[in-house]
Amino acid sequence: MITAHPPRHILIFTSPKAGTGIGVGRVAALMEVLTRQGVVVEMTSVVADLKRIASNNTSGRPDMIVAAGGDGTLALVAQTTPPETVIAPMPMGTENLVSKHFGISSEVVPMNEMLMAGRTVAIDAGLANGRLFLVMVTCGFDAEVVRAMHLTRRGHINRLSYFWPIMRALRRYRFPELRVAVIDDAASSAAPVLNAVSNSLNSLSPTESYAATAIADPFVLPASKSVVEQTVTCRWAMVFNLPRYAAGLGIEPQAKGDDGMLNLCAMQNGSVLGGLRYLVGIIMKRHSHWRDVVRRQITTCEISSAASVAYQIDGDYGGKLPLKIAILPGRVQLRLPPIVAS
């Protein structure tokens, strides 16, 4: 944890797909409060502007960037900015899993307190086909729902927006087999590759539209040195950095964002009834002991399928398999609420 210093210059980045309403009003109110305290405040929703301002090596570079949006917005800011950038989540999305995990409110008073007197903590990030994630990557039925939403999305969404994509997936999704190859990075020399990728993240060109196209220069293990430690076949594959999922479901409660590891949860039953069984087991906190649920910590894996299977990253559509995932320890500097003495 880094000692807090009140920022003098803040950039607020808002989601390009943010709508109108209470969230937009809170951003304006926060800007007014910060300005009264003598803080220089800028705002943009253009990714090119975010990258230019955050990479400024002169005195005009902001001390902190507020990511006003959902988990996808927060990951986009982390992807676009240098590793030393201090990022403050301002939850305005549908789920806001990172903010819920760290107890962050979008209300003006607690947000201002966090920005001016909070703590800065380094957390791990995952890398999925060259794209950063903070919470999770999943492949299977839920990712197909996210893909269907992506095809029809127009602006801000809420949980009810997922009704028809879920109905469509229930009718059409066939639960194809997935293959998860867990890589032994000690034998595959993954660490030097990860360091090179981490150092080059600032030079990547992220999409400006949240379309799920993976960013160029994806993580690739040297083919001749990749050593598969374990292969898991399943119908649902989920990799977590934080122990959060939509609707508060505790699929992988053991995941920690600062341990240098990712947590794999692979479920092997491929049917709608099997999915309902898993849902009940997750709600009752029993699924982790079932024989058809494979759980383990990993640093690197590759997920593939003979079928066309979608994957989602932090709630946004990511693309189609194959998928290569790795951990970037301590990659993101997050501004969090101050610790309250008990």
| Contacts by 243-249, CB closer than 8 A, 24 or more apart | 243/101, 244/97, 244/98, 244/100, 244/101, 244/135, 244/136, 245/97, 245/135, 245/136, 246/95, 246/97, 246/142, 246/315, 247/95, 247/159, 249/279, 249/282, 249/283
Q: What is the DSSP letter of 292?
A: T
Contact criterion met (CB below 8 Å) for 269 and 292: yes
Cis peptide before 82 (omega within 30 of 0): no
Per-residue pLDDT tens for 190-221? 444 454 444 444 444 443 333 333 333 334 44
* Residue 285 buriedness (CB in 10 A; 0-12 / 13-18 / 19+): exposed
pLDDT tens-digit profile of 276-310?
999 999 999 999 999 999 999 999 999 999 999 99
Q: Which two tokens stand for residue 278?
A: 């898993």
At 41-98, the pLDDT tens digits run: 999 999 999 999 998 877 789 999 999 999 999 999 999 999 999 999 999 988 899 9
Domain 131-328 has CATH 3.90.1010.10: no
Question: 105: how many CB neighbours lie within 10 A of its CB?
Answer: 16
Does the structure show a pLDDT above 60 at 18? no
> How far, in Å, are 74, 126, 145, 272 from residue 71 at the CA level?
5, 13, 17, 28
CATH of 9-125, one of 1.25.50.10, 3.40.50.10330, 3.10.180.10, 1.10.580.10: 3.40.50.10330
Return the higher-pLDDT residue of 8 and 149: 8
* Whole-structure pTM value: 0.86
Domain limits, the chain: 9-125, 131-328
Q: Which amino acid is at 275?
A: G
